[in-house]
């Protein structure tokens, strides 16, 4: 019976692209993360409870009562015109000058990623992505059968020399690169930000190799110090396709994101969106438009920043005082994530079930690589848990790592793997 339940009777009928749609075995572990005794430093869910939910609820109720005929009707596949104007106001905070006509509204940045990949990538095409890279993007690239080639990053973001070398090598091999996918600001999962100097270099290198850039920027307005970074798109309107979202600055459940693309590409994205969904949920779109028109959204983003800054501080303080020697981690200036590197000989993926047994969860680094890298890494998020829980989570995690180090010193290597397999589709809440 058990055997029968596991067999997929449809496997010889699926399209080849379905082979790239592999569930994460780590998903099974995450079923346990929901238990209240487990401190989850795994999920990337924003803290939507910080919104004035009564005000937002009243606003949405009024919208339906007074403008329901618009809010509950089909709309255009490009998205609500008034919302696209407001989206241009938001991007202006990062130096982007855009026309609302070049914006297409999407179901979160995730659908923008899907549409862009659908429009550009044939099976076997090369896509460049940071190492590590956003797990949801890797899932999309796998679904479209792209060949992901990683380019390393460090504390200053993607490394220009490594990008140049990779592009030179691929050119020598006669392989055309469809685009570079990058999360330049407060990267998911590494928490690092591409420096201003490197931004110019990356654009220059991509221009020299005639490679498009997909700039995915969900966290750009969630910096803890100073003004927002200038977006890559602000300095190259023809080469950069910018993806944005209100998931982290308003609410992820609204599922409103967008792509800003050169005009011809925008036209293709609209057609692709139409065939996928006809049009995007009108209620969500008018709710976001109304929110951006009538509510103090800039102040709300400031509140989010303060909240996440306090949590980032709690996590870094706890890591500084509790983590065993040999561990290193990034120090994010914004966004949601810290990227930890474990000492030589440890394996974050093998360790995950043991951490959950000790009531703390993280995402093993392997999920953020298309090539099996990241075994000594883990992503910790500070966006959702309260500061005290974060400290407690790090305390438990430090204990687990200390134990692993003892085991390594006794047996000479990491203990056997508790989980294996692809981590391409992350599962709910892990984004
Ligand atoms: C880098 C990155 N891109 C895209 C997304 C998807 O966001 P959305 O909720 O807008 O689909 C996320 C979500 O966490 C993300 O971190």
pLDDT tens per residue across span 16-46: 888 878 776 566 667 777 788 999 999 888 9
218: CA distance to ligand 1 center in Å? 6
Model pLDDT, residue 137: 96
Report the alpha-carbon distance of residue 390 to residue 393 in Å, rounded.
5
How high is the pLDDT of residue 1? 41
Q: How far away, in angstroms, is 55 Cα from ligand 1 center?
A: 25
Is residue 338 within 8 Å of residue 316, measured between CB atoms?
yes
Secondary structure (3-state) at 19 = helix
Q: How far is the CA of 89 from the centre of ligand 1 (A)?
A: 20
Q: What is the pLDDT of residue 179?
A: 98
Residue 209 buriedness (CB in 10 A; 0-12 / 13-18 / 19+): middle
pLDDT at 43: 87
Say yes or no: CB of residue 191 within 6 Å of ligand 1: no
Mutate to test the pocket of ligand 1, among 90, 188, 383 (most ligand atoms within 8 A of CB): 188
Residue 27 CA to ligand 1 center (angstroms) comes to 18
How confident is the model at residue 76, as a pLDDT?
94
pLDDT of residue 428: 53
pLDDT at position 360 is: 96
Counting from 1 in the atom list of ligand 1, the atom nearest the Cα of 336 is 16
**What pLDDT sits at residue 423?**
43
- Paired strand residues for 130: 151
> Which residue positions in the chain have pLDDT lower than 70?
1-6, 24-29, 413-430
Question: Cα–Cα distance between 380 and 242 in angstroms, integer?
Answer: 26
Ligand 1 atom nearest to 217, measured from its CA:
1
Q: Is 242 exposed, middle or buried (CB count within 10 Å of its CB: 0-12, 13-18, 19+)? A: buried
User: From the CB of 247, is ligand 1 less than 6 Å away?
Assistant: yes
- Does any ligand 1 atom lie closer than 6 A to the CB of residue 110? yes
Q: What is the DSSP string of 199-221?
A: HHHHHHHHHHTT-EEEEE-SSTT
Helix H or strand E segment including 147? strand 147-154
Q: How far apart are CA 410 and CA 431, in angstroms?
A: 36
CA of 113 to the centre of ligand 1 (A): 9
pLDDT at 335 (0 to 100): 97
Q: State in Å: Cα 90 to ligand 1 middle.
A: 17
Cα–Cα separations (whole angstroms), residue 130 to 6, 149, 162, 222, 340: 35, 8, 10, 21, 16
């Amino acid at each position: 019976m058990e055997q029968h339940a596991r067999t997929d009777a449809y496997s010889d009928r699926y399209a080849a692209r379905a082979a790239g749609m592999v569930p994460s075995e780590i998903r099974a572990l995450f079923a346990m993360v929901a238990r209240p005794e487990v401190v989850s430093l795994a999920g990337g869910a924003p803290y939507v409870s910080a919104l004035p939910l009564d005000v937002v609820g009243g606003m949405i109720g009024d919208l339906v009562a007074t403008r329901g005929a618009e809010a509950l009707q089909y709309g255009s596949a490009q998205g609500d015109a008034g919302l696209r104007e407001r989206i241009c106001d938001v991007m202006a905070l990062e130096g982007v000058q855009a026309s609302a006509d070049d914006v297409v509204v999407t179901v979160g940045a995730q659908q923008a990623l899907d549409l862009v990949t659908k429009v550009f990538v044939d099976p076997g095409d090369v896509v460049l992505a940071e190492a590590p890279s956003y797990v949801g993007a890797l899932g999309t690239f796998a679904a479209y059968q792209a060949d992901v080639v990683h380019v390393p990053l460090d504390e200053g973001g993607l490394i220009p020399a490594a990008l140049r070398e990779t592009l030179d090598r691929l050119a020598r091999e006669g392989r055309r690169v469809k685009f570079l996918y990058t999360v330049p600001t407060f990267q998911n999962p590494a928490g690092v930000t591409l420096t201003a100097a490197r931004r110019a270099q990356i654009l220059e290198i991509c221009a020299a190799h005639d490679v498009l850039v997909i700039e995915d920027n969900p966290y750009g307005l969630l910096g803890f110090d100073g003004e927002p970074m200038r977006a890559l798109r602000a300095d190259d309107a023809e080469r950069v396709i910018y993806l944005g979202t209100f998931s982290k600055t308003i609410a992820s459940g609204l599922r409103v994101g967008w792509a800003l693309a050169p005009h011809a590409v925008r036209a293709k994205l609209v057609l692709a969106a139409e065939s996928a969904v006809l049009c995007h949920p009108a209620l969500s779109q008018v709710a976001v438009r109304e929110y951006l028109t009538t509510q103090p959204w800039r102040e709300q983003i400031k509140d989010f920043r303060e909240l996440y800054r306090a949590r980032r501080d709690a996590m870094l303080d706890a890591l500084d005082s509790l983590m065993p020697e040999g561990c290193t981690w990034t120090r994010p200036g914004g966004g949601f994530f810290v990227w930890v590197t474990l000492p030589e000989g440890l394996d974050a993926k093998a360790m995950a079930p043991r951490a959950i047994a000790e009531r703390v969860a993280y995402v093993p680094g392997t999920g953020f690589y298309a090539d099996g890298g990241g075994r000594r890494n883990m992503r910790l998020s500070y966006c959702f848990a309260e500061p005290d829980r974060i400290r407690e989570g790090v305390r438990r995690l430090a204990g687990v790592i200390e134990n692993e180090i003892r085991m390594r010193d006794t047996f000479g290597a990491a203990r056997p793997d508790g989980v294996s397999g692809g981590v391409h589709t992350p599962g709910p809440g892990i984004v």
